[in-house]
C-alpha cells in the first residue's frame, strides 16, 4: 500500500518554483566531484606535453559524463515534484552513485574502470526504468521510453569499455558519451515513438530549472576560491601569491557579475513577469556545461600559479588561464532569451576575442602577470557589459 501511495499521481505532480533542500544536498556530492575533476586538470598540466591532450581528453570525458547525470536529474526535479518520497529515493540513489563515480575518477582508466562504467549505467538506466514504470498510461511515459532506449544502447558501450582495459576503453566511452550528447540535443528521438521534447508532454518548471542552474553555477564558482585559498594557505602569503589571490577574487566577482546581470539589448527583466527570469533554451544545459568547465579551468590555472609562480610560463598554462574565461563567456552568451525585436548581445563575444588576443603574447610574461592580466580583462568585460546595458539592480535576471 505504501508503494502505491508513492506512485500515485506522479504524472500529475508539479515541480515547486524553488529548489528543495534535498536538491541542495544532492549538489554537495558535486562539490567533491568538481574538486576531483579540478585535481585531474591540475595533474594533466604536470604530465609530459606529448601526453597532455590524451589526458585532458579523459578529464573532459569524465566531466561531461558527470554533467549528463546532473542535468537529467535537474530536469526530473523541475518536471515532477521532488518532495515526493519516491523521487527523493531516486535522487538519493543517484547521489550515492555520483559519489562512487567521483571516488573512482583517479583510476577510472585503470583498475576502477568497471566500477565507474557499471555505476554510470546503473544511474542512467535506473532513473529511466523508474519513470517508465511510474508514468505508465501517461503521454510523458513515451519520453522516458525514448531516454531508456538511448541509454540501453550506450550502456552496452560503457560496459564494453569497462571490460576493455586498453585503448578500447577510451574509444567505447567516447562513443557512448557522444551518442548521449547527440540524443539529448535531439530530444532523444526513437523511430515510431517520436522526438517531441518533454516540455510538450509534461510541465517543466523553467523557474525551478533556472534556480538549479544558478545553484550549480555558485558551486562551480566556489572552486576558484577553494583552489586559490588552499594554494595560499599552506605556504602562506608572499608578494606573488597575494597578487594571484587578489586576481582570483577579481575573476570570481567578474564571473558572478556577468552571469547574473548580463542581458542582451531590450531583454531587461522588467519585460517579463516578476520572478520569471529568462526562458531556458533547449540547449541551455550545454551552455552551462561550457560555463562550469571554463570556471574549473580558471580555478586550476590560478591555483597552479600560486603553487609555483617562478618558472617561466608555457603554452598549456596560458591556454588554461585564458581559455577558461573564454569558455565561460561563450557559454553565458547562449543563455540569453531570444527576442525577434533585439539582436543577440555581442559584448561577451567581443570580450572572448580580447582574451584570445591577449593570450598570444602572454607566454612571454611571468606567470603572476598572466593571472593579473586575465583578471583585469575579465573585470573590464564586466564593467563594459554593465555600462552598455545601463541596468539597475532591479533588472537582475534569473539566469
pTM of this structure: 0.86
CA distance 67 to 59: 12
Contact 262, 395 (CB under 8 A): no
Tens of each residue's pLDDT in the chain, 399 residues: 344 444 457 877 788 888 899 999 999 999 999 988 888 888 777 665 545 556 788 889 999 999 999 999 999 998 899 999 999 999 999 999 999 999 998 888 888 999 999 999 999 999 999 999 998 888 888 889 999 999 999 999 999 999 987 788 989 999 999 999 999 888 888 887 777 777 666 778 888 888 899 999 999 999 998 888 888 887 778 888 899 999 999 999 999 999 988 764 444 444 443 333 344 556 678 889 999 999 999 999 999 898 877 766 788 889 999 999 999 999 998 876 554 444 566 888 999 999 999 999 998 899 999 999 999 999 999 999 888 766 555 444 444
Contact 98, 33 (CB under 8 A): yes
Burial (CB count <10 Å: 0-12, 13-18, 19+), residue 15: buried
What pLDDT is stored for residue 268 in this prediction?
45
- Sign, CA dihedral 247-252-256-262, equals positive
What angle, rounded to 10 degrees, do the helices at 52-79 and 113-134 form? 20
Contact 27, 215 (CB under 8 A): yes
Could you tell me the three cell numbers for 249?
577574487
Angle (CA) 384-313-253 rounded to 5° is 30
Delimit the domains of the chain by residue range: 2-201, 208-395
What pLDDT is stored for residue 100 in this prediction?
96
Contact 132, 144 (CB under 8 A): yes
CA distance 382 to 333: 13
What pLDDT is stored for residue 397 in this prediction?
47
Torsion of the alpha carbons at 338, 341, 344 and 346, rounded to the nearest 10: -160
What pLDDT is stored for residue 271 in this prediction?
40
Contact 105, 36 (CB under 8 A): yes
Paired residues of 342 in beta bridges: 339
Could you tell me the three cell numbers for 134?
511510474
CA distance 154 to 55: 22
How many CB atoms are closer than 10 A to CB 235? 10
What pLDDT is stored for residue 308 in this prediction?
78
What pLDDT is stored for residue 42 in this prediction?
82
Amino acid at each position: 500500500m505504501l508503494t502505491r501511495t508513492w506512485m500515485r499521481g506522479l504524472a500529475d505532480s508539479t515541480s515547486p518554483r524553488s529548489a528543495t533542500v534535498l536538491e541542495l544536498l544532492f549538489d554537495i556530492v558535486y562539490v567533491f566531484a568538481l574538486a576531483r575533476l579540478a585535481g585531474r586538470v591540475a595533474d594533466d598540466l604536470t604530465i609530459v606535453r606529448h601526453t597532455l591532450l590524451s589526458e585532458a581528453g579523459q578529464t573532459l570525458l569524465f566531466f561531461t559524463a558527470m554533467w549528463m547525470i546532473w542535468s537529467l536529474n535537474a530536469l526530473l526535479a523541475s518536471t515532477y515534484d521532488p518532495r515526493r518520497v519516491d523521487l527523493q529515493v531516486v535522487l538519493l540513489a543517484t547521489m550515492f552513485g555520483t559519489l562512487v563515480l567521483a571516488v573512482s575518477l583517479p583510476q577510472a582508466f585503470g583498475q576502477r574502470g568497471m566500477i565507474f562504467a557499471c555505476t554510470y549505467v546503473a544511474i542512467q538506466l535506473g532513473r529511466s526504468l523508474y519513470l517508465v514504470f511510474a508514468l505508465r498510461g501517461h503521454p510523458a511515459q513515451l519520453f522516458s521510453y525514448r531516454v531508456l532506449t538511448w541509454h540501453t544502447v550506450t550502456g552496452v558501450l560503457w560496459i564494453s569499455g569497462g571490460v576493455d582495459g586498453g585503448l578500447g576503453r577510451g574509444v567505447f566511452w567516447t562513443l557512448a558519451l557522444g551518442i548521449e550528447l547527440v540524443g539529448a540535443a535531439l530530444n532523444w528521438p526513437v523511430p515510431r515513438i517520436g522526438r517531441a521534447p518533454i516540455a510538450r508532454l509534461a510541465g517543466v518548471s523553467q523557474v525551478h530549472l533556472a534556480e538549479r542552474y544558478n545553484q550549480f553555477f555558485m558551486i562551480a564558482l566556489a572552486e576558484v576560491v577553494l583552489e586559490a585559498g588552499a594554494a595560499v594557505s599552506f605556504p602562506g602569503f608572499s608578494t606573488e601569491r597575494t597578487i594571484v589571490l587578489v586576481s582570483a577574487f577579481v575573476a570570481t566577482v567578474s564571473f558572478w557579475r556577468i552571469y547574473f546581470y548580463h542581458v542582451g539589448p531590450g531583454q531587461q527583466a522588467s519585460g517579463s513577469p516578476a520572478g520569471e527570469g529568462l526562458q531556458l533554451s533547449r540547449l541551455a544545459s550545454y551552455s552551462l556545461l561550457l560555463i562550469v568547465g571554463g570556471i574549473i579551468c580558471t580555478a586550476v590555472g590560478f591555483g597552479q600559479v600560486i603553487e609555483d609562480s617562478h618558472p617561466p610560463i608555457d603554452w598549456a598554462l596560458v591556454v588554461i588561464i585564458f581559455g577558461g574565461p573564454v569558455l565561460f563567456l561563450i557559454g553565458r552568451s547562449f543563455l540569453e532569451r531570444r527576442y525577434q525585436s533585439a539582436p543577440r548581445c555581442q559584448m561577451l563575444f567581443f570580450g572572448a576575442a580580447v582574451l584570445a588576443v591577449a593570450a598570444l603574447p602572454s607566454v612571454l610574461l611571468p606567470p603572476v602577470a598572466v593571472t593579473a592580466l586575465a583578471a583585469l580583462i575579465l573585470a573590464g568585460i564586466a564593467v563594459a557589459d554593465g555600462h552598455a546595458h545601463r541596468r539597475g539592480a532591479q533588472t537582475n535576471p534569473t539566469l
